[in-house]
Structure 1
Amino acid sequence: MSEHKQDAKRSNTVKSSRIPIGHNEDVEFSEDLADQEDWEALERSERADRRQQQRF
């Protein structure tokens, strides 16, 4: 792998590690476009949020 490609790969890794992770992310959910898996994921997310809130 060339030095340029290695630098680019390292740069992408550093950038991705700085992405904020949390429950306040702005994500649009469309009920019209949601399928069964989307609804199940929404339920799991809500349960996880409740568990996390109970820890505090």
Structure 2
Amino acid sequence: MSYKSEGPEEKALKEADGRYVEYSEELADTDDVEAQKRAKKADDRVKNRRQ
């Protein structure tokens, strides 16, 4: 077990839906932005089906 302090790589990781995802809006290109929009729409469709 490691008790080292959290480095920049670990801080860049965000927990979303049980997965660790590394994402920075500042560094996103147009393909990244489009992929994020498609992923959000897909997530919304799944959530609407569950209701």
Fold in common (TM above 0.5): yes
Tell me which protein shows more strand as a share of its residues. Answer: 2
Q: TM-score by structure 2 length?
A: 0.60
RMSD between superposed Cα atoms in Å: 1.3
The 1-side partners of 2:23 and 2:46 are apart by 21
The Cα of 1:33 is off from its aligned counterpart by 1.1
The 1-side partners of 2:20 and 2:49 are apart by 23
Unpaired runs of 5+ residues, structure 1, are 1-22
The ranges of structure 1 where at least 4 consecutive aligned residues each deviate by more than 4 angstroms after the TM superposition are: none
Q: TM-score by structure 1 length?
A: 0.55
Select the structure with the greater relative contact order (CA < 8 A; seq sep ≥ 6): 1
Unpaired runs of 5+ residues, structure 2, are 1-15
The Cα of 1:39 is off from its aligned counterpart by 0.1
Larger Rg: 1
